[in-house]
């Protein structure tokens, strides 16, 4: 098929055509794409009937060049070009505008649903295996679409809108499709605003750590605390960690944020009684980073907190991106005495297999089961099964999200001994945490005196 896109001898002799052509794939280049869009917009200037432009970016293309060489990468790009060219709808045009990025003009696609339908078709076509002779390679692509004139009337505006939509697709994961809208543009502007403020906050040491108590459900004794990030910006107000933690992961500065938070948490925890542990959440990025264990131990050693008093929480979703690398990180952490807990258990796709394949110390039952445990029989049955299974695997269990005495009583009845949630206390700052510990000590001492009396 490659020959179908190559220039004829007559075209090769025409310097104007050569200047508008991508030399690798034979497709048009960015300049030719611009000419097409401008011409189409001019034709529709008096009666601006919509048309669509789109950008397709190959997900994870760089490793292909690293693993198989640039010749293999070039061959895949040529195959991508032919596939896109072959399945263009009537009047469509496709160009290669960057190393692994293609753009297209779709004159007969007028609205969002049509763009999404074309995007799904392109996505399916590009997901088929690529033949490299002695091997097949599978890839995916992400897509961003912009519709004229709603997303812009000039070429630069349309491309910027399509690129914004593509960026949102990349944020949502691989093989996604997004059509530009004002709502999406506002969402991206907000994300950028939060990102810049968060970078400043990390440098200024303005991201705080709060601590939620983890208790023995039977007698209310403190077992430890989970460290939770909290951030209130002077201009933006309170920002949920559900927003700023994933943003830090996505924009590539989660390491600096986590190091700051772990150091703060460890400095607080080292002054607790030695029987209390610190639970700290590990990001998905760190779980597959070979340097994670070294960084964690270096921070704990510099602060003076015994690694055996630390529990790192990881999620099954985080492990699934690279189970082999994650397993190595988990094993290395445990070799230093750090305990590893599987968070949000029961919400993943293959939790039972993860318990078998990974060396965990503890499981945290997801709050979605706890919320319904007193009103939904199936939730109680699931919790009971989890507890029995963990007992057989010699795993400790913590129930999350306990909010009512009835939930606590039901968990205790089923055999769950440890838990956390608003019933026992919200996340509080370091000073209040010390006060809680002091009050518990005084209460325990008074109870012991009363028993002896």
Residue identified by tokens 């010699």 is 394
Residues comprising the chain, all counted = 453
**SS3 per-residue string spanning 288-354:** CCCCHHHHHHHHHHHHCCCHHHEEEEEEHHHHHCCHHHHHHHHHHHHHCCCEEEEEEECCCCCHHHH
Measured in whole angstroms, how far is the alpha carbon of residue 99 from the centre of its chain? 25
CATH topology of domain 204-452: TIM Barrel (3.20.20)
For 7, other C-beta atoms within 10 Å of its C-beta total 14
Measured in whole angstroms, how far is the alpha carbon of residue 264 from the centre of its chain? 24
> What is the structure's pLDDT at 4?
39
Residue partners of 173: CB distance under 8 A and separation at least 6: none
- Token pair of 239, please? 């920002």
Write out the DSSP string of 351-398.
HHHHHHHS--SEEEE-HHHHHTTTT-HHHHHHHHHHHHHHHHTT-EEE
> Could you give the residue range(s) of every CATH 3.20.20.450 domain in the chain?
204-452
> What is the structure's pLDDT at 453?
67
**Under 8 Å between Cβ of 202 and 233:** no
> What is the structure's pLDDT at 354?
63
**CA-CA distances (angstroms) from residue 312 to 12, 278, 333?**
62, 8, 9
CA distance 125 to 59: 14
**Under 8 Å between Cβ of 307 and 300:** yes
CA distance 12 to 46: 36
CA distance 221 to 216: 5
- Token pair of 72, please? 């293999």
> What is the structure's pLDDT at 1?
37
Identify the CA nearest to 263 among candidates 336, 209, 199.
209
CA distance 316 to 343: 7
> Could you give the residue range(s) of every CATH 3.30.70.270 domain in the chain?
2-186
> 140-148 and 130-131 as β-strands: parallel, antiparallel, unpaired?
unpaired
Phi, psi angles (nearest 5°) of residue 60:
65, 40
Helix (H) or strand (E) holding 58: strand 51-59
For 35, other C-beta atoms within 10 Å of its C-beta total 14
Structure pTM?
A: 0.73
pLDDT tens over the chain, length 453 residues: 333 354 444 444 555 666 889 999 999 999 999 999 999 999 887 777 899 999 999 988 887 887 888 899 999 999 999 999 999 999 999 999 998 999 999 999 999 999 999 999 999 999 999 988 888 888 999 999 999 999 999 999 999 999 999 998 988 878 899 999 999 989 888 888 999 999 999 999 999 999 999 999 998 999 999 999 999 999 999 999 999 998 898 888 999 999 999 999 999 999 999 999 999 999 888 888 889 999 999 999 999 999 999 999 988 777 776 778 888 899 999 999 999 998 877 665 545 666 666 778 999 988 888 998 988 888 889 899 889 988 888 899 999 999 999 999 999 999 999 999 999 999 999 999 999 999 988 888 887 787 776
Residue identified by tokens 């796709």 is 349
**Under 8 Å between Cβ of 201 and 207:** yes
Superfamily of domain 2-186: Reverse transcriptase/Diguanylate cyclase domain (3.30.70.270)
Residue partners of 397: CB distance under 8 A and separation at least 6: 362, 363, 364, 365, 386, 387, 390, 416, 417, 418
Residue partners of 378: CB distance under 8 A and separation at least 6: none
């Amino acid at each position: 098929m490659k020959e179908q896109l190559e220039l004829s001898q007559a075209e090769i002799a025409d310097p104007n055509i050569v200047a508008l052509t991508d030399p690798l794939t034979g497709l048009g280049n960015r300049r030719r794409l611009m000419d097409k869009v401008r011409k189409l917009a001019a034709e529709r200037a008096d009666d601006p009937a919509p048309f669509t432009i789109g950008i397709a970016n190959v997900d994870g293309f760089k490793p292909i060049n690293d693993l198989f060489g640039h010749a293999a990468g070039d061959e895949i790009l040529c195959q991508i070009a032919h596939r896109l060219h072959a399945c263009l709808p009537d009047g469509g045009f496709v160009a290669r505008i960057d190393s692994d990025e293609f753009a297209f003009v779709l004159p007969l696609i007028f609205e969002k649903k049509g763009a999404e339908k074309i995007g799904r078709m392109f996505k399916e076509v590009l997901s088929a295996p690529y033949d490299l002779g002695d091997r097949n390679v599978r890839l995916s692509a992400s897509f961003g679409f912009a519709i004229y004139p709603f997303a812009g009337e000039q070429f630069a505006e349309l491309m910027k809108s399509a690129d914004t939509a593509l960026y949102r697709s990349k944020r949502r994961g691989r093989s996604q499709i997004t059509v530009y809208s004002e709502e999406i543009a506002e969402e991206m502007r907000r994300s950028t605003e939060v990102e810049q403020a968060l970078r400043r906050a990390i440098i200024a040491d303005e991201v705080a750590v709060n601590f939620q108590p983890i208790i023995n459900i039977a007698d209310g004794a403190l077992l430890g605390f989970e460290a939770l990030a909290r951030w209130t910006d002077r201009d933006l107000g309170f920002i949920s960690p559900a927003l700023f933690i994933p943003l830090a992961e996505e924009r590539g500065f989660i390491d600096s944020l986590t190091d700051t938070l772990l150091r703060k948490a460890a400095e607080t925890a080292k002054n607790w009684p030695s029987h209390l542990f610190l639970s700290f959440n590990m990001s998905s990025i760190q779980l597959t980073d070979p340097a994670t264990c070294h960084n964690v131990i270096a921070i704990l050693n510099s602060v003076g907190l015994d690694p055996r008093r630390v529990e790192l929480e990881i999620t099954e979703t985080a492990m699934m991106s690279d189970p082999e690398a994650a397993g190595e990180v988990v094993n290395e952490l445990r070799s230093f005495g750090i305990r590893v807990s599987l968070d949000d258990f029961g919400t993943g796709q293959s939790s039972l297999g993860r318990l078998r394949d990974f060396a965990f110390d503890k499981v945290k039952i997801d709050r979605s089961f706890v919320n319904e445990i007193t009103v939904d029989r199936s939730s109680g049955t699931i919790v009971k099964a989890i507890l029995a299974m963990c007992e057989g695997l010699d795993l400790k269990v913590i129930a999350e999200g306990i909010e009512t005495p009835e939930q606590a009583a039901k968990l205790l009845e089923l055999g769950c001994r440890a838990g956390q949630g608003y019933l026992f206390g919200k996340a509080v700052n370091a000073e209040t945490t010390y006060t809680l510990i002091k009050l518990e000590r005084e209460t325990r001492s008074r109870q012991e005196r009363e028993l002896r009396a």
